[in-house]
Amino acid sequence: MDYSFSLLLILGFVAVVLLFEGLYAYWNDTRSPEVRRVAQRLRAISAGGHAESEAKLFKERVLSHTPAVQRLLLLLPRVHQLDRLLLQAGSTLTVSHQLTVSALLALIGLVAGLFLRWPMFLILLLVVVLALLPLLRLVWRRNKRLHKIEAQLPDAMDLIARALRAGHAFPSALAMVGAEAQEPIAGEFKITSDEIGYGISVDNAINNLASRVPSPDMRYFVMAVVIQRETGGNLAELLGKLAELVRERFKLFAKVRVLAAEGKLSAWILVGLPFCVAGAVQILNPKYLSVLFTDEMGIKLVIGALVLMVIGIFAMWRIIDIRV
């Protein structure tokens, strides 16, 4: 009896060890940082639109880690554009995670509006705003990342030009930028170098780079490389002059941004002031604004004010949106 109990303990111990070993092996094969890094690289490679069929299929599979959700997401229109937006923003989330966050925020807004007994149109407005918040944050991160890449692009082109003058091939020069430059531009050029290493043509690889980084300066770089490969010429000298042109453009843009800073600040104040005042009044005296939400004429006035504010926001945005 004692031997049987000891054997049972030993078998139980071995079973627990094997269980934890199996769980660790599963995590190491599917969720480890190395696997996630490789998956992110493959997703980025497939997002350009000019990759081979295997990369495209992999891109479709990573919209969600759940097969059933994956099939549902493929039925949504423009879902791959959302996936590309995630990549352009440098986010590691999948499309399913992004949509789940938006749905949870919308549900929180709906429950809060019903609990506070707000009018239905205000509840719907709150639900829409909360659902769009993750997307707006994603667009903000994308624009911030693209601006940083644009600022790093002249140095990257100078590095490519120096590598070409030293006798390196163009793919090797791209790999040097991926290895020596700073993020986030280093990761984009590293992906392009990996695409060329996987067998994708140089033209398709740099076109994928332009798709992942929708910047005018990056398109100028890609067009310069494509035209030089078709017609010939001194690519190193061309990239050096293009880098100088981009730097001068950034200097001019900085001056314009300083001159337009006062107008942008005024626009932000004019947009946010009505909401801040309404929120403060609602907190201090909730009955004061209740007429606007209960009386028919008050609801019409609120809707009219919101429409006029949207028109004013669009007009101010067009005034302060100065392109260089």
Higher pLDDT, 35 or 128: 128
Give the span between the Cα atoms of 36 and 82, in whole angstroms. 19
Residues with Cβ < 8 Å from 203, sequence gap 6 or more? 226, 229
pLDDT over 50 at 306, yes or no: yes
Is residue 154 a contact partner of residue 243, using CB atoms and an 8 Å limit?
A: yes
State the burial class of residue 88 (Cβ atoms within 10 Å of its Cβ: 0-12, 13-18, 19+). Answer: buried
Show the tokens assigned to 65: 């880690």
Q: Within its chain, how far is the Cα of 173 from the centroid?
A: 27
Distances from the Cα of 270 to the Cαs of 265, 267, 301, 308, 317, in angstroms? 9, 5, 19, 12, 12
Q: Which long-range contacts (CB under 8 A, 24 or more apart) does 239-244 make?
A: 239/157, 239/158, 239/160, 239/161, 239/164, 240/157, 240/158, 240/161, 242/157, 243/153, 243/154, 243/155, 243/157, 243/158, 243/161, 244/154
What number is the average pLDDT over the span 272-290? 81
pLDDT over 50 at 255, yes or no: yes
DSSP, collapsed to helix, strand or coil, labels residue 285 as coil
Give the span between the Cα atoms of 112 and 125, in whole angstroms. 12
Give me the pLDDT at residue 35, please.
Answer: 56
What DSSP assignment string belongs to 42-92? HHHHHTTS-S-HHHHHHHHHTT-SSHHHHHHHHTSTTHHHHHHHHHHTT--
Give the span between the Cα atoms of 214 and 222, in whole angstroms. 11
Q: How do the domains of the chain map onto residue ranges? A: 145-252, 260-324
Give me the pLDDT at residue 220, please.
Answer: 86
Give the Cβ contact number of residue 93 at 10 Å.
14
DSSP, collapsed to helix, strand or coil, labels residue 109 as helix
Q: Within its chain, how far is the Cα of 258 from the centroid?
A: 27
Q: Over the stretch 11-54, which tens digit does the pLDDT of each residue have?
A: 666 666 656 666 665 666 566 666 566 556 555 555 545 444 43
Give me the pLDDT at residue 234, please.
Answer: 83
- Of the pLDDT bands very low, low, confident and very high (cuts 50, 70, 90), residue 55 is very low
Task: Looking at the structure, give the CATH architecture of the domain made up of residues 145-252.
Answer: Up-down Bundle (1.20)
Show the tokens assigned to 196: 């060329």
Mean pLDDT of the chain: 77
Specify the pTM: 0.63
Which runs of consecutive H residues, i.e. helices, occur in the chain? 2-30, 33-46, 53-61, 67-74, 79-88, 95-116, 120-165, 170-180, 185-197, 202-212, 216-231, 235-259, 261-284, 290-294, 296-320
End-to-end CA distance of the chain: 87
Q: Is the peptide bond before 119 cis (omega within 30 degrees of 0)?
A: no
